[in-house]
Amino acid sequence: MNLPFGWLQFAQNRFKRQQKPPDGRRKTPFWSWVWFIGGTLYLALPLLATFSFSLQMKRDTISLQAYKSAFADPAFINSFLFSIGLATVTIIASIALIVPTAYWIRLRLPQARRTVEFITLLPFVIPAIILVFGLIRIYSQPLSIPFTSLSMGQSLTNSKYGTLILIVAGYMVLGLPYMYRSIDTGMRTVDVRTLTEAAQSLGANWYTIMTRVILPNLRTALLSGALLTFAIVVGEVVLASYLGVAAFGPYLFLLGQHRAFEPAALTFATFLLTWIAMGIIQLVTGGQGQTTGAH
């Protein structure tokens, strides 16, 4: 079939179809395909480009040399493991802080709900760069609480542990909206009040209720909150570089200043890691993808 005829027929078909009384939806979703293919290309091409670039480290041949070289760098291993450690601590601390809070609000203190929800939304208004600005200005001197004479002995930013506390706290703040929403939604769907009453009537104490009843029932919510936090923390660069922490984000940034192929390899690997995290969230929550804001 020659092309003009094909196009004519296509146009006629479209015309005919529009003449017919509309029956819900068009059968040739031409424009839908155009948008879909265009959008998918926009999403896929940068990854394809990065991947193909990362394979070209050896001249005139395709090799995984960039990956070998990137993964073999001890600085990479250290910073990456360190970031994973930071993510793990952040996740555990977030869960330990938010689960009891959300639980308590649901059960005993519904009047605190609006205040707590408002606080969990604040990180949307305070971007990472502003948060780290405030944190550094507050904690670079021995903390004195306003309107009192209370003060802490040493500035947090000057000690190793102090910096670690600050960065974990900062990451907890960045992940707060996602973690809180995830856990709160989880508690709504499993009806923690009924579960608690059932456990209590069977004689369980608070510790047993938390560890044997509430947490296992929240595992989907916890997992998706944890993976989102993971996705924020592992590549995060703003807090880490301003607080002077040797995490993966600053490492990748510095590597990009004086290398070409290794950063591309690590970029592609980061992408795969994000993909895995989001894929698992999709699987366990069965639908709604969430999104973070660590740009």
Q: Which of residues 86-105 bind other proteins (CB under 8 A)?
A: 97-98, 100-101, 104-105
First to last CA, the chain: 50
Positions in 15-74 near other proteins (CB under 8 A):
18, 21-22, 24-27, 29, 31-33, 35-36, 39-40, 42-43, 45-50, 52-53
Candidates 116, 190, 195, 215: give the one binding other proteins (CB under 8 A).
116
Instruction: Please tell me the distance from the alpha carbon of residue 294 to that of residue 72, in angstroms, as a whole number.
Output: 27
Both structure tokens of 159: 């000690």
**Which is nearer to other proteins, 6 or 289 (by Cβ)?**
289
Candidates 72, 92, 121, 246: give the one binding other proteins (CB under 8 A).
121
Positions in 142-171 near other proteins (CB under 8 A):
146, 166, 169-170
CB of 184 to other proteins, least distance (A): 12
* DSSP one-letter code for 21: P
What residues contact residue 208 under an 8 Å CB cut-off, 6+ apart?
199
> Under rule CB under 8 A, how many of the chain's residues touch other proteins?
99
Burial 141-167 (b: 16+ CB within 10 A, else e): eeeeeeeeeeeeeeebbeeeebbbebb
CB of 105 to other proteins, least distance (A): 7
64-45-53 Cα angle (round to 5): 25
CB of 69 to other proteins, least distance (A): 16
Instruction: Please tell me the distance from the alpha carbon of residue 176 to that of residue 67, in angstroms, as a whole number.
Output: 34
Q: What is the DSSP string of 68-86?
A: HHHHH-HHHHHHHHHHHHH
User: Binding of other proteins at residue 141 (CB under 8 A)?
Assistant: no
CB 128 within 8 A of CB 239: yes
Candidates 131, 187, 213, 221: give the one binding other proteins (CB under 8 A).
131
**Which is nearer to other proteins, 204 or 237 (by Cβ)?**
237
Count CB-CB contacts under 10 A for residue 275: 11
What residues contact residue 287 under an 8 Å CB cut-off, 6+ apart?
none
**Which is nearer to other proteins, 5 or 207 (by Cβ)?**
207
Instruction: Please tell me the distance from the alpha carbon of residue 82 to that of residue 190, in angstroms, as a whole number.
Output: 35
Positions in 229-288 near other proteins (CB under 8 A):
231-232, 235-238, 242, 249, 252-253, 256, 263-264, 266-267, 270-271, 274-275, 277-279, 281-282, 287-288
Positions in 193-212 near other proteins (CB under 8 A):
none
CB of 287 to other proteins, least distance (A): 8
Candidates 55, 57, 70, 173: give the one binding other proteins (CB under 8 A).
173
What residues contact residue 244 under an 8 Å CB cut-off, 6+ apart?
163
**Which is nearer to other proteins, 91 or 281 (by Cβ)?**
281
